[in-house]
Amino acid sequence: MYEKYSGLPDTTKSTRQSGSRPADRSDGRPVRASSAQMEYYQAPNRSASQATAKRASARKAKARKRKMILGGMSLGFLALVVVALVVLVKSCSGPAVVDLENGTFRNGVAINGMDVSGKTVDEVRPQLESNESTFLERIAITLSSTELNASITGADMNAATNLNEIIEQALAGGANQSYFTTVSIDEAALATRIDAINQTSSKPPVDASATMDFSSSGKPTPQYIEGTPGFGLDVASTIELVKQAIAAGQYQTTLTPTLTSIQPSITVADIQANFSEIGKFTTTYDYKGTAEDTEEQRAIIPNRAFNVEKAADKINKNVVKPGDEWSFNDVVGDRNAENGWKEANGIFGGDKLTLQYGGGVCQVSTTLYNALLKAYPYIEIVDRSRHSIPSTYVDMGLDATVDTGHIDFVFKNTSEHPLYIYSYYTNNKMAKSRKRDLTVVIYGKALPEGEEYKTRTVIVSEEPPGPDEIKDSKNLFIGEEKILAEARSKFTVDVYIDHYVNGNVIEENFRYTDVYPGNPLRKQVGIKPTPTPEPSPTPPATPNP
């Protein structure tokens, strides 16, 4: 091989030896020199493969350089990330230290809309706490529906805010930040308030009932009244409703609570299935005197009738639930002038009659007692006392006396169904003008078919009264006397309640023995001398005409 010398300088070779390279274009390719600036020579004739290899080597060199630059940049960025993470971890590794005494809030910081920029906690706390107190006082959740209306205040729920926590956050935070407190409530206090609303605002159901129509003469006619449902708050769902409102920031709002319907426990069908006459008894009393009565008796008899009818009205329509006890004195009340009772004869001291307020009410308790004995399996007599003097309106051993604050008549309903007491009075058929009949009827679950109970009394003994007891009285004139107590025999009486089935006695139930003590005649006779009448003065003589 040889080179043909052209007579021109070898500029290409000198360039490579100096280590310089022509400037590149923006596209990476070398800029060609102009003909005016460069001299050309005839290059040796190299093969095409050698030229291609050189170009490939140059491209690889450039690629390696770019990779090195990019790798260095990546390593630098990764180092920055690591440093940032280390700083972040260190900052989160413990709570920020807040100087509550001397620290000041940064510019643009607000708590609940109040600008606290540049101020200390002590400077802003009083106003913040005052604002919170006013805010909590204004909390009012109203429960409203067609059946009830009630309010729940912040105090009812022991509402509070996290003001101290927010103050620390605002003090430790950056500038131009707004912070707001949140409300918390005491769920137990809320439940107590809602339960109280339920107790006062709910409406209990009204059970079906039965009454008597006495408009027709004599026998009462049952009248049935349907019950009505009640309502109450669904406490659990109402608690959740209020909690949701507070969580949503609805501090003055009206909510419609869920109400539960409470159905009556006794229906008309229940009453009709267990509402039959199971006991009835009638006694007779005077309501007007006769010509044979003394003037004093004619004044007292209407008063006694008034007391009998007043007491009968008191016990009428009473309902005794299963297991409950019923007291005559509790229902009728104290017999005195203030309660509207009148004076009539009543037993005093065991052997005499005196005027007493409410005199005559024992006839009502006695009539009730005898009606209840007809329903013997369903009742238990808790408290019953005989009179000291046998009554005129009922057999001995079957009376039940009462006295305000002293003697009571009490029975218990031992059946599984309510007992209904009805009492009424009508004119006596044999003496309409001066006598009336008092009737007490007991309703309840019917006795088994064909069964009934009847009372029976047996006089065990009778003892005549002892000798008369007569005492002198200086308050009575000679020849005058005052009866203190009529003579009465002593009686001992056994009381039975016999069990009948289809008219036949199948069981004799001895109940108790009553003893009426009796008493001798007690009277006073006068020993006061009768004053001598003074003679009348002699009238003056009449002159002759």
C-alpha to C-alpha distance for 72 and 331, rounded to whole angstroms? 105
Residue in 463, 489, 468 with CA at minimum distance from that of residue 389: 489
Would you state the pLDDT for residue 85? 61
C-alpha to C-alpha distance for 333 and 329, rounded to whole angstroms? 5
Would you state the pLDDT for residue 77? 74
Q: Which whole number is the average pLDDT over 515-532?
A: 91
pLDDT in tens, 423-457: 999 999 898 889 999 999 999 999 999 999 999 99
Q: Is 38 in contact with 9 (CB distance < 8 Å)? A: no
Would you state the pLDDT for residue 223? 86
Would you state the pLDDT for residue 280? 95
Does the pLDDT of residue 382 top 90, yes or no? yes
Q: Which whole number is the average pLDDT over 406-420?
A: 95
C-alpha to C-alpha distance for 361 and 404, rounded to whole angstroms? 10
% of the chain exceeding 90 in pLDDT:
61
Would you state the pLDDT for residue 79? 64
% of the chain exceeding 70 in pLDDT:
83
Q: Which whole number is the average pLDDT over 77-85?
A: 64
- Helices 187-201 and 235-247: crossing angle, nearest 10°? 130
Would you state the pLDDT for residue 310? 97
Does the pLDDT of residue 222 top 80, yes or no? yes
Q: Is 478 in contact with 528 (CB distance < 8 Å)? A: yes
Would you state the pLDDT for residue 147? 83
Q: Is 255 in contact with 152 (CB distance < 8 Å)? A: no
Would you state the pLDDT for residue 158? 95
Q: Locate tokens 């000679």: which residue?
A: 478
Lowest mean pLDDT among 96-110, 173-187, 196-210, 470-484: 96-110
C-alpha to C-alpha distance for 250 and 529, rounded to whole angstroms? 99
Would you state the pLDDT for residue 218? 59
- Average pLDDT across the chain, whole number: 84
C-alpha to C-alpha distance for 184 and 373, rounded to whole angstroms? 64
Would you state the pLDDT for residue 15? 38
C-alpha to C-alpha distance for 292 and 344, rounded to whole angstroms? 19
Lowest mean pLDDT among 6-10, 113-117, 316-320, 370-374: 6-10
Would you state the pLDDT for residue 240? 94
The pLDDT confidence band at residue 38, using thresholds 50, 70 and 90, is very low
State the pTM of this model. 0.58
The pLDDT confidence band at residue 88, using thresholds 50, 70 and 90, is low
SS3 533: coil
Q: Is 385 in contact with 289 (CB distance < 8 Å)? A: no
Count other Cβ atoms within 10 Å, centred on residue 128.
Answer: 20
Would you state the pLDDT for residue 20? 35
C-alpha to C-alpha distance for 16 and 10, rounded to whole angstroms? 11
Does the pLDDT of residue 54 top 70, yes or no? no
Lowest mean pLDDT among 21-35, 46-60, 191-205, 344-358: 21-35
C-alpha to C-alpha distance for 431 and 247, rounded to whole angstroms? 80
Q: Is 223 in contact with 213 (CB distance < 8 Å)? A: yes
CA distances from 383 to 325, 327, 377, 386 (A): 10, 9, 17, 11
Does the pLDDT of residue 164 top 70, yes or no? yes
Residue in 257, 250, 253 with CA at minimum distance from that of residue 198: 257
Q: Which whole number is the average pLDDT over 344-362?
A: 84
The pLDDT confidence band at residue 43, using thresholds 50, 70 and 90, is very low
Does the pLDDT of residue 339 top 80, yes or no? yes
C-alpha to C-alpha distance for 337 and 340, rounded to whole angstroms? 5
- Residue 145 has φ and ψ, to the nearest 5°, of -155, 180
Q: Is 247 in contact with 259 (CB distance < 8 Å)? A: no
Residue in 413, 422, 444 with CA at minimum distance from that of residue 270: 444
Q: Which whole number is the average pLDDT over 107-115?
A: 95
Does the pLDDT of residue 21 top 60, yes or no? no
Q: Locate tokens 């007391």: which residue?
A: 307
Would you state the pLDDT for residue 375? 96
Residue in 349, 370, 359 with CA at minimum distance from that of residue 519: 349
If one compares 148 and 158, the residue with the highest pLDDT of the two is: 158
Instruction: Write the secondary structure of 36-78 as one string of H (helix), E (strand) and C (coil).
Output: CCCCCCCCCCCCHHHHHHHHHHHHHHHHHHHHHHHHHHHHHHH
* Residue length of the chain: 545
Would you state the pLDDT for residue 144? 93
Does the pLDDT of residue 83 top 80, yes or no? no
Does the pLDDT of residue 40 top 90, yes or no? no
Does the pLDDT of residue 25 top 50, yes or no? no
- Residue 125 has φ and ψ, to the nearest 5°, of -60, -50
Lowest mean pLDDT among 124-128, 143-147, 496-500: 143-147
| 437 class by beta-carbon count within 10 Å (0-12 exposed, 13-18 middle, 19+ buried) | middle
SS3 298: helix
pLDDT in tens, 184-218: 999 999 999 999 999 888 889 999 988 878 766 55
∠480-484-486 over CA atoms, to 5°?
110
- Helices 121-137 and 163-172: crossing angle, nearest 10°? 140
